[in-house]
Amino acid sequence: MTGKKQQGKRVLPGFGLTMGITVAMLSLLVLIPLASILAYSFRLSFDEFWELISRPNVRQAFLTSTGCAFLAALINCVFGLNLAWILVRYDFPGRRLMDAMIELPFALPTSVAGITLSRMYSDQGVLGQLLQKIGVKASYSKVGIVIAMVFIGIPFVVRALQPVLEKLPKSLEEASEMLGASRIYTFRRVILPELMPALLTGFGLALARGIGEYGSVIYISGNSEKAGTQVVSYVIMQKLNSGSVDYEGAAAIALVLLVVSFLLLFLVSVVQIAAGRRTKG
Amino acid sequence: MDTKQQNARRRGFIPGLLLTSGILFFFIMLVFPLGEVIYRSLKDGFAVYASAVTAKNTLSALKVTLIAMVSAVLVNTFFGLCASWLLTKFEFRGKQVLSALIDIPFSISPVIAGLAYIMTFGRMGWAAPFIDWLNELLGTDISFVFSVPGVVLATVFVTFPFVSRELIPVMQAQGSSEEEAAVMMGAKGFTVFRRVTFPHIRWALLYGVILCAARAFGEFGAVYAVSKARGKTFTLPLEIDALYMAGSAESITHAFAVSSLLVLLSIVILIVKQIVEYRGKREA
Amino acid sequence: MKKSFLKKWAVLGMAAVVLGGGLAGCGGNEAGGDSDAVALTNVSYDPTREFYTAYNQMFAEHYQKETGKAVEVTQSHGGSGSQARSVIEGNEADVVTLALAHDITLIEEAGLIEPGWLEEFEQNSAPYTSTIAFLVRKGNEKGISDWDDLVKKGVEVITPDPKSSGGACWNFLAAWYYSERKFDGDEAKMKEFVASLYDNVLVMDSGARGATTTFVENGQGDVLIAWENEALLALQEYPNEFELVTPSISIKAEPSVAVVDENADKNGTQEVAKEYLSFLYSQEAQRLAGENFYRPSDEAVLQEFGDVFDLNVEMCTIDDFGGWDQAYADFFADDTIFDEIYNQ
């Protein structure tokens, strides 16, 4: 297909077959449907497109979604690493049960999760009351959005880290400690670099999931344009469900959301490659 | 193996801190919401619970959920094996791009996924005339939106990269020298995969399948866009939403009861995982 | 290399078709159902769920008696706007029973419903109506009795987002009409009044059901601006927790019904669909609507429910705003009155 040099290297069979299957399925199931979004948004002229995208509520929604998702992904990295570490390294009663429950956010429908969380973190709920005592309003604010995004993103980080941690030989840290390195030094210089690629994968996935999230967020966010608590998915649904049924507008915002989340994932993979090089080098 | 060592390590200050903070986070973020679900599902007694989970609509939703989940796992496992073989065993131009494209569904809002299918296969979608033509030709009445195939497609979409994502790093780490040696010695393509590659990727594959399954049955947003008929094309998450939105205090209890079914389903999946894992370790 | 590659593509193409066929097969079985009953799909909006569950049974008995044929109705509920959209997108509804005429107009514009549907059934094709009322917490501590009280400082209001929910437009228009009467059409003052009302909105949910949940289940806010039927349902479901307050002036909310001609013709259900909707006007169905807190359009039946509904409230109709399409263009489209006052 391409250069002769590459063909010469192919000892293993199945290139054509797997290439065919991969490309065919990818096109049929993912690329062609997504192209429809592109097609719809191109029905707008560039000026209309720009006018729509630069509306204050749309811009604000993008800021809110990316900002909250970023924060939530960071929180998930810290606690995800923490959770994965104790699940893999320590033995304590209920460990298996804990392990099994990590996937819970996947199993609960996002709307039920959103409703449950909004209730728990409202000023009538147990956790909301606690937070209110330290002056934090959780439900119906950006804090609520972050909480919902942390909830839906946690399994991505834990499950990305677990297999890597399991493979990470303990002798590595033991050796480091025996050589007199402090625990923090060992963690920072020995363990963390090993985990970095997996951690970044988890971060990227949690981030991407958070940016596009709808069901769990809309019940806890309050959706106030003034307070800046509308997320991008909400604005898209507004376009679709309001009296005008504006497919072009919805597709245009969706397209920008696609580009933004794709760029962010790309950025994560660039960092990932750089981190990989540093470990090897 | 080295539980003693582990116990010894537990006595330190840092492990204690890690355990406390991890467990605290776990309780606040995961146990509390689950507790709320279970408490509210049993609030009105077991009889109400039983009638909720055995309602006709619930059973139909369970069936559709299982169909969608099994289809998603099959399709994506097949795809994941092909894609990861392609991406780890060969060098070709555009490999990075292809790898990035496969991950697209991860980065896509379920809202957009649903919209994309509607805009393609829906009544006003550009593929609609083609589907009509195909239906006429084959004498069938297939619809890819607002039907069970539509639900399956939407589920496949949101879980598309789950298996390949798990397989690629493992196969990359493994390299391809073993497979190449086997081929040199005259083994056939599929035999190489079965005998050489498969044993290495078994656990990663299982992880992928489990993640895929778990994500498949919990999907709400994308499926909601293409499924509107309760009792026919509703999945469990949609049924729960419908119950919750029905407005009566009783139906809200029912919604939580059905939610607990989903939780149960995920526990079943994880038990299966534990069993397979245990067997795998004994084999090794 | 290239040839075998192409060949594999062909094989794959076939595999995909087989896979598709397989999927369709299980879909086909699903759609087939298990009885010979006439199948009818009613796409409706959230709060009508209980009403239509009961009505479908009533109608099935009626139809069986009249024609000897069994009928099985599939229900579909959700936000009114998204339900209308689903029909446009291919959700094969035989009849639609939505929250506002505008949503049905959208389906008409997509070519699925023949023009003139609004006159097809009595009373603007609205077999039952409702109005906008206030739900307050027991004791009514903030002393809320009319729209004026909602703009007072410190009153927390819950109402859904009119830019996301069609039903929420009724809430806005009711407030607007009140201010029009109060300030005698002085638009600057009217805008100020409605703006200060929306300033008091604590949580703006995406739909009417979400707003009810926020107020009732999560305990947010002092007053919920809601459809009367929703408010009455909450009173029944949560006894001794809430009170209903009917404002002096409100709006007549007319949920409209229509046969989706294209689908009904295709499915051969035109006749049963028409019967399904006309039977909504029968005495027994009207009474059922009343029991489900919708105001029956039949005046005599409405009087029977005099103790449930406040029949003295003065109501404007959508015609005072020039019909739905006009109202939408004036108030809720981007950069019109709602955007203007909300973003002051």
For an interface test with A, which of B87, B111, B191 has the most A Cβ atoms less than 10 Å from its Cβ? Answer: B111
Q: How confident is residue A9, by pLDDT bands cut at 50, 70 and 90?
A: low
Residues A20 and A158 in one domain: no
CB pairs under 8 A between B and C: 96
* In chain A, alpha helices (H): 4-9, 15-26, 32-41, 46-53, 56-89, 95-101, 104-107, 110-120, 126-133, 142-167, 170-178, 183-185, 192-212, 215-221, 232-241, 247-280
Q: Which residues contact A187 (CB under 8 A, 6 or more apart)?
A: none
Tell me whether C63 touches chain A (CB under 8 Å): no
Q: Are residues C266 and C122 in the same domain?
A: yes
Mean pLDDT of chain B: 85
Which of A120, A213, A240, A242 has the highest number of chain C CBs within 10 A, making it the mutation to test binding with C?
Answer: A242
Same-domain pairing of A182 and A231: yes
Q: Give me the half-sphere count of Cα atoms (radius 13 Å) on the Cβ side of residue A233.
A: 29
Contact B261, B42 (CB under 8 A): no
Asked, for residue A114, whether it belongs to a domain, the answer is yes
Please state, in angstroms and rounded to a whole number, the distance separating the CA atoms of residues C83 and C95: 12
User: Do B29 and B119 belong to one domain?
Assistant: no
Q: Are residues A24 and A141 in the same domain?
A: no
Question: B19 and B129, same structural domain?
Answer: no
Mutation target vs C (from B245, B250, B252, B256; most C CBs, 10 A cutoff)? B245
Tokens at B211, concatenated: 């993640």
Please tell me the total count of domains within chain A. 2
Which of B125, B230, B247 minimises the CB distance to C233?
B247
Give kind and range of the element (H or E) at residue C251. Answer: strand C249-253
Give the span between the Cα atoms of B206 and C176, in whole angstroms. Answer: 59
Q: Are residues C262 and C318 in the same domain?
A: no
C342 and A226 in contact by Cβ < 8 A? yes
Same domain? For A213 and A102 the reply is: yes
A254: which 2 tokens?
């969706």
CB–CB contact A211 B109 (8 Å): yes
Burial class (CB in 10 A: 0-12, 13-18, 19+), B48: middle
Determine the average pLDDT of the residues in A58-67: 95
Interface confidence, given as ipTM, is 0.84
Both B54 and B23 in a single domain?
no
> Which one of A28, A40, A241, A244 makes the best mutation probe of the C interface by having the most chain C beta carbons within 10 Å?
A241
Asked if residues C236 and C292 have their Cβ atoms less than 8 Å apart, the reply is no
- The 10s digit of each residue's pLDDT in A16-48 is 999 999 999 999 999 999 999 999 988 999 999
Cross-strand bridge partners of residue C39: C72
**Residue A2 falls inside a structural domain:** no
The separation between CA B187 and the C-alpha centre of its own chain, rounded to angstroms, equals 34
Q: Which residues of B touch C234 (CB under 8 A)?
A: 247
Q: Which two tokens stand for residue A251?
A: 């597709």
Q: How far A192 CA sits from the closest chain B CA (Å)? A: 16
A92 and A194 in a single domain? The answer is yes
Same domain membership, residue A54 and residue A24: no
Residues A79 and A22 in one domain: no
pLDDT: which is higher, B67 or B172: B67
Burial class (CB in 10 A: 0-12, 13-18, 19+), B94: exposed
Q: What is the CATH number of the domain that holds C298?
A: 3.40.190.10
**Which residues in chain A touch residue C79, judged by CB atoms under 8 angstroms apart?**
241
Under 8 Å CB-to-CB from A194, ≥6 apart: which residues? Answer: A164, A168, A172, A279
Give the closest of B128, B246, B252 to C49, CB-based: B246
- A122 CB near a chain C CB, below 8 Å? yes
- Whether A98 and A20 share a structural domain: no
Three-state helix/strand/coil letters over B49-98:
HHHHHCCHHHHHHHHHHHHHHHHHHHHHHHHHHHHHHHHHHCCCCCHHHH
Which member of C21, C26, C234 has the closest CB to residue B148? C26
Percent of chain B's residues with pLDDT above 90: 30
Determine the distance in angstroms separating the CA of C319 from the nearest CA of chain B, rounded to an integer.
Answer: 30
The DSSP output letter for C34 is S
| Digit-coded pLDDT (tens) for C156-199 | 999 999 988 888 899 999 999 999 999 999 999 999 999 999 99
pLDDT reported for residue C10? 45
Alpha carbon C236 to its chain's center: 20
Q: Are residues C263 and C155 in the same domain?
A: no
What pLDDT score was predicted for residue B280?
A: 65
CATH assignment of the domain containing A57:
1.10.3720.10
Q: Which residues of A touch B89 (CB under 8 A)?
A: 12, 14-15
Q: Is the pLDDT score of B85 beyond 80?
A: yes
Local confidence band at B97 (pLDDT 50, 70, 90 cut-offs): confident
Chains with at least 3 CB pairs less than 8 angstroms from chain A:
B, C
A84/A36 same-domain check: no
Q: Report how many Cβ contacts below 8 Å link chain A to chain C.
A: 109
Asked whether residue B175 falls in the same domain as residue B277, the answer is yes
Q: Are C192 and C271 part of one and the same domain?
A: no
CA–CA gap between residue A41 and residue A246 (Å, rounded):
11
Contact (CB<8Å) B107/A262: yes
Q: Is B195 in the C-facing interface, judged by CB distances under 8 Å?
A: no
Interchain proximity B232–C110, CB inside 8 Å = no
Query: What is the total count of domains within chain C?
Result: 2
pLDDT at position C17 is: 45
Give residue A219's pLDDT. 87
> In this model, does residue B2 exceed pLDDT 50?
no
**Same domain, yes or no, for C18 and C63?**
yes
pLDDT of residue B284: 58
Chain B nearest-CA residue for C263:
B123
| Cβ contact B124:C89 at 8 Å | yes
Residue A223 included in any domain:
yes
Average pLDDT over residues C50-77: 94
- Among chain A residues, CA nearest to C328: A243
Longest dimension (CA), chain C: 84
Q: Which residues of A touch C84 (CB under 8 A)?
A: 245
Q: Is B245 on the interface with C (CB under 8 A)?
A: yes
Least confident range of A70-74, A187-191, B149-153, C111-115:
A187-191
Q: What is the mean pLDDT of residues B181-204?
A: 86
- Residues B28, B87, single domain; the answer is no
Order across the sheet with C95-97: list the strands.
Answer: C71-76, C38-44, C95-97, C257-259
* Identity of the residue in A25, A39, A154 whose CB atom sits nearest the CB atom of B79: A25
pLDDT tier for residue A96 given thresholds of 50, 70 and 90: confident
CA B216 to chain centroid, in Å, comes to: 3
Domain boundaries, position B228? 46-283
Contacting residues for B150 by C-beta, under 8 A, at least 6 apart: B117, B121, B143, B144, B226, B227, B233
Integer angstrom CA distances of residue C336 from A228, A253, C161, C332: 20, 20, 15, 6
Same domain, yes or no, for B105 and B196? yes
At B160, the amino acid letter reads F
Supply the range of the domain harboring residue C99.
5-129+255-304
Residues B38, B50, single domain; the answer is: no
Neighbours of B50 (CB within 10 A): 11
| Interchain CB contact of C210 with A (< 8 Å) | yes
Integer angstrom CA distances of residue A123 from A138, A216, A220, C152, C180 = 8, 18, 12, 22, 36
Q: Are B102 and A26 contacting, i.e. CB atoms less than 8 angstroms apart?
A: yes
Q: Using CA atoms, how far apart are residues A247 and A241, in angstroms rounded to an integer? A: 10
Percent of chain A with pLDDT strictly greater than 70 = 94
User: Which residues in C lie closer than 8 A to residue A214 (C-beta atoms)?
Assistant: none
Question: Residue B220: its chain A contacts at CB < 8 A?
Answer: 109-111, 215
- Answer yes or no: do C328 and C223 share one domain: yes
| pLDDT single digits (tens) C291-329 | 999 999 999 999 999 999 999 899 999 999 999 889 999
- Mean pLDDT lowest for which of A270-274, B90-94, C315-319? A270-274
On whether any CB of chain A is under 8 Å from the CB of C203, the answer is yes
Chain B interface includes A178 (CB < 8 A): no
Residue type, position A10, single letter: R
Question: Sign of the C-alpha dihedral, residues C11, C14, C16, C19?
Answer: negative
Contact flag B148-C212 (C-beta cutoff 8 Å): no
CB-based contact C78:C45 (threshold 8 Å): yes
Cβ within 8 Å, pair B228-C28: no
Task: Please check whether residue A167 touches C, CB under 8 A.
Answer: no
Are both B261 and B212 inside the same structural domain?
A: yes
Residue A27 lies in a domain: yes
User: Are residue C205 and residue C272 in the same domain, yes or no?
Assistant: no
Whether A6 is in a domain gets the answer: no
CA dist., res. A132 & res. A144, Å (int): 13
Q: Which domain holds residue A19?
A: 12-41
Q: Is residue C200 located within the same domain as residue C263?
A: no
**DSSP assignment, residue A279?**
H
Which of C266, C274, C340, C314 has the alpha carbon at shortest distance from C127? C274
Q: What global pTM score does this model have?
A: 0.86
Given a cut of 60, whether residue C289 has pLDDT beyond it is yes
Q: Are residues B213 and B255 in the same domain?
A: yes
Same domain, C268 and C202: no
Q: Is the pLDDT reported for residue B8 higher than 50?
A: no
- The answer to whether residues C12 and C77 belong to one domain is yes
**Residue bearing tokens 């809002």:** B109
- Residue A86 corresponds to which tokens in the numbers above? 């104790």
Nearest CA-CA partner of A243 in C335, C323, C106: C106
What pLDDT is stored for residue B75 in this prediction? 96
Kindly state whether residues A157 and A65 are assigned to the same domain.
yes
Are C209 and C337 part of one and the same domain?
yes
**Residues B90, B202 within the same domain:** yes
Which pLDDT band holds residue C35 (cuts at 50, 70, 90)?
A: low
Tally of domains in chain B: 2
Picking from A236-245, B139-148, B265-274, C213-222, which range would have the lowest pLDDT averaged per residue?
Answer: B265-274
Show which subunits contact C, needing at least 3 CB pairs below 8 angstroms. A, B
Q: Same structural domain for residues A131 and A33?
A: no
Q: Span C24-41, mean pLDDT?
A: 58
Name which of C309, C135, C308 is nearest C216 in CA terms.
C135
CA distance, residue A156 to nearest chain C CA (Å): 28
Check whether residue B160 and residue B135 sit in a common domain: yes
Residues A63 and A30 in one domain: no
Cβ of residue C4 closer than 8 Å to a chain A Cβ: yes
* pLDDT tens per residue, range C208-247: 888 998 999 889 999 999 999 999 999 999 999 999 999 9
Do C157 and C85 sit in the same domain of this protein? no
More confident residue, A256 or A190: A256
Q: Is the pLDDT of residue A178 over 90?
A: no
Residue A3: inside a domain: no
Closest CA to B169 of B131, B202, B201: B201
In this prediction, residues A202-211 reach a mean pLDDT of: 90
- Rounded to the nearest angstrom, the minimum Cα separation between B219 and chain C is 17
Q: What average pLDDT does the segment B125-130 reach?
A: 88
**pLDDT tens-place string over residues B28-65:** 988 888 888 888 888 888 999 999 999 999 999 999 99
Q: Are residues B127 and B233 in the same domain?
A: yes
Dihedral sign (CA A158, A162, A168, A172): positive
**DSSP letter, residue C327:** H
Mean pLDDT lowest for which of A260-264, C134-138, C335-339? A260-264
User: How far apart, in whole angstroms, are the C-alpha atoms of residue B20 and residue B17?
Assistant: 5
